[in-house]
Amino acid sequence: MRNRSVSIIFGSLVLWAVATYFLFLDQQSVGKDLDKDKLSNQISRLEKQVKQQIIINQRLLEGINESKRRKKEYDRLNAPVQSPADDTGKNEYKKHEVRKPDSILLQKLMDKNDREKSKNEPMSTQDIISSTEPVHSIPSRQKLPNGNPIIAILVISCNRITVERCLDQLIRLRPDKEQFPIVVSQDCDHRQTADVIARYGNELLHIKQPDQSDIEIPPKEKKFRGYFKIARHYKWALNQVFIKLGYSTAIIVEDDLDIAPDFYEYFLGTYPLLVNDSSLWCVSAWNDNGKAGLVDESAPFLLYRTDFFPGLGWMLTRDLWLELAPKWPKSYWDDWIRQPEQRKNRACIRPELSRTRTFGKLGVSNGLFFEKHLKYIKLNEKFVPFTKMNLSYLLKDNYDIAFVNQVYESTVVSYSELKSGNIVGTGSVRIPYYTRQSFKNTTKLLGLMDDFRSGVPRSGYRGVVTFFYNGRRVHLAPSANWSGYDITWS
């Protein structure tokens, strides 16, 4: 019995030893398999990283080659633009046609500006646009092979499907697709609007604002959230046009604007002034006081300088954007741009008859001014050949002397005399104002805009608001010894 027990115990021990041995071998096998799997995974990851690095290197090489190609193309195309000259214009525009001395004047201005620019190093684009991709130096897209300027049309869009009304006109009236590339920048991530824009295919470039995050807004300004989003969108869109796409000039158009038949001609004609006269910083298609009854509809060729930034269809250069971008505000960008720190005593060109008109009653301003003012703006209907006209009268040195003389040599009249038409003579007249309140009282009687921005009245130049009333040119003007705008009048 004892021997049997010993045998059973001995057999159990042997069985346990054999089982333990095979279990140990199996664990080693599993460990080896795990090591093999781990090593295999590491090799796969390494192989993937190598492939990714090869792709990145290829893209960098392509970017460098593309930059070299663009540099060569830029050097080839960057020849001086000659001002158009044509003596075959209609009789009503003859006195504005370009003559040889004027084209020489513009050429001298261009040479002077080139010398000034060569003294200063260009601002780094790294300070303007942030990106995870390498930033290469992109030559500005300035001219076509024939020497004509390339001017991008930047359409600011959000959630209006009626953007098609604006785009239809821009495309239908566009004289040259290559000269006026259309870039539609869409915010709001609105699917229906995106679908409308997509229908235009290669007629335009559709870009989308990627940042749809909430914006930090002061508690007192929560109801003005839209103005914060608009400012953010403008900055992103302008960076895309001037920095990423490399255009040197752009016209900004909101998605709720109609345009005149000579919209493109107007900007082409004034382009040489903008790029050569350092006292100008924009050309606007808008007349703030351009309501029917306050403009001379028989003189669509008349243009003016204005200290007030009009917006609503306006042209600017890449150089100006590089100046403004680093300090771009978080909201209310249009009032910010009218401040003395930004304007720096520079002026804009504006027309007698507007080349744009808004049809967007509803928006972030909730129809502010629309019913009382904006819907009455007269849109020009006649084509004016601005590129064939002599516009050198708008250069500051020429304009200021003639303008001041015209204003202060005009007959002084009262509002009642102007309204009754009981005025001797046919020339322009002047209604004086000396205080903020007297200005406001007179503008309300005449139907003019009565507000100030940073002390500047709408459409004003040297404090003078010029308009048309009862068949007569009228200047609402301060005293002749005017010394500048009073910011407290705002």
> Is residue 191 exposed (0-12), middle (13-18) or buried (19+ Cβ within 10 Å)?
exposed
Reply yes or no on whether the pLDDT at 98 is more than 60. no
Nearest CA to 393 out of 96, 113, 67 is that of: 96
pLDDT, average across residues 291-316 = 97
pLDDT > 90 fraction of the chain, expressed in percent and rounded: 65
User: How far apart are alpha carbons 235 and 223 in whole angstroms?
Assistant: 21
What is the per-residue pLDDT for 126? 45
CATH T-level assignment (fold) for domain 152-376: Spore Coat Polysaccharide Biosynthesis Protein SpsA; Chain A (3.90.550)
Q: For the segment 277-298, what is each residue's pLDDT rounded down to a tens digit?
A: 999 999 999 999 999 999 999 9
Q: Who's near 217: CB < 8 A, 6+ residues apart?
A: 224, 225, 228
Among 77-81, 109-113, 275-279, the range with the most confident prediction by mean pLDDT is 275-279
pLDDT, average across residues 162-171 = 97
What is the per-residue pLDDT for 425? 85
What is the per-residue pLDDT for 136? 37
What is the per-residue pLDDT for 476? 98
The CATH class, in words, for 405-477 is alpha beta
Catalytic residue set: 334
Instruction: State how far Cα 369 lies from the chain centre.
Output: 23
Strands 205-208 vs 182-186: parallel, antiparallel or unpaired: parallel
Reply yes or no on whether the pLDDT at 12 is more than 70. no
155, 261 Cβ separation under 8 angstroms: no
What is the per-residue pLDDT for 124? 47
Reply yes or no on whether the pLDDT at 66 is more than 80. no
Q: Would you give the DSSP letter of residue 87?
A: S
pTM of the predicted protein model: 0.76
Residue 87's pLDDT band (boundaries 50, 70, 90)? very low
Domain locations along the chain:
152-376, 405-477
Q: Who's near 455: CB < 8 A, 6+ residues apart?
A: 485, 486, 487, 488, 489, 490
Containing 155, the helix (H) or strand (E) segment is strand 152-157
Domain 152-376 matches domain 405-477 at the CATH topology level: no
Choose the weakest-confidence range: 28-32, 48-52, 419-423, 454-458: 28-32
Reply yes or no on whether the pLDDT at 326 is more than 50. yes
163, 197 Cβ separation under 8 angstroms: yes
Reply yes or no on whether the pLDDT at 118 is more than 90. no
